[in-house]
Amino acid sequence: MTDTIEPLRAKATPPGLDDSVMSPRLVAENSRGLYANNMGKRFKKRPVLRGVSLSIQRGEVVGLLGPNGAGKTTCFYIITGLILPDYGTVVLDGNDITDLPMYRRARLGIGYLPQEASIFRGLTVENNIRAVLEVVEESHSRREAVLESLLGEFSITHLRRTPALALSGGERRRVEIARALASDPNFILLDEPFAGIDPIAVGDFRDLVAHLKDRDIGVLITDHNVRDTLDVVDRAYIIHDGMMLMEGAPEDIINNEDVRRVYL
């Protein structure tokens, strides 16, 4: 069954919100890309996000950085559909997907790789990838062809019959990304991708991110490792106290006095 999505619509700003914290960047109805517009969220009456907007295009690597408690994870959860915003919209290629559940967003091309290990530890590498292919591809021959292609593309063919629990941190990341690509996403959100991998694997992961970009996939990364994240992104957003502090190229962010004061 083909998923349908509603035309773009706006969600009202809740009463009492100061318009000065609202981001002015709104997406046009015919805009391509993934947009989060003026997102707001409260937990137990505490504002966690206050009018945050960001965007990602295909073939672009974007960072979302900020201190602990700034709202980065909440942004990710709203974009992927794990939680709903109190106000604001999530828009994919000009269509409002704010109210769609996570599985429908995945069908529309939004992938998510959480910080925690997401592979099935009791399955082999190849069966981890098959588990996704069996959901998205009806043809057995096509599933096997895509499986072989992904194993080769990520240099994990030699690990195909290895149980996932026996993988190193870097190997696990390769398998997780290969499995994420089995659903043929246009965008992937990577939550703390540098966590739990050794320094050698960090360089390997940089190559994986560059490979995703070459595949014309839009990548959004959040990580506590500022240096490694800024090394791989085209641009980044800095979020502080639930509001967007700055957007810019890595060198501009590093040299910004406000960013250095509250974050770097």
Return the higher-pLDDT residue of 20 and 254: 254
User: What is the average per-residue pLDDT within 54-59?
Assistant: 97
Residues 162/166/171/176 CA torsion (nearest 10 deg)? 80
d(CA 6, CA 160): 41
Domain region containing 63:
21-262
Return the higher-pLDDT residue of 237 and 67: 237
161 belongs to a structural domain: yes
Instruction: Give pLDDT, residue 71.
Output: 92
Q: How many domains does the chain have?
A: 1
pLDDT above 80: residue 7: no
Instruction: Give pLDDT, residue 117.
Output: 79
CATH number of the domain at 83, please. 3.40.50.300
pLDDT above 80: residue 219: yes
Return the higher-pLDDT residue of 110 and 199: 110
Lowest model confidence (mean pLDDT) among 80-94, 110-124, 155-169, 206-220: 110-124
15 belongs to a structural domain: no
Instruction: Give pLDDT, residue 263.
Output: 83
pLDDT above 70: residue 211: yes
* DSSP E strand boundaries for 2-128: 6-7, 34-43, 46-56, 61-65, 87-92, 95-96, 110-113
Percentage with pLDDT > 90 across the chain: 69
Average pLDDT, the chain: 88
- The model's confidence at residue 196, banded by pLDDT at 50, 70 and 90, is low
User: What is the average per-residue pLDDT within 148-152?
Assistant: 97
Length of the chain: 264
pLDDT above 90: residue 188: yes
109 belongs to a structural domain: yes
CA angle 49, 52, 53 (to 5 degrees): 155
| Residues 79-117 pLDDT 10s | 999 999 999 999 999 999 999 999 999 999 999 998 887
d(CA 109, CA 15): 34
Instruction: Give pLDDT, residue 223.
Output: 85
| Residues 113-133 pLDDT 10s | 988 878 899 999 999 999 999
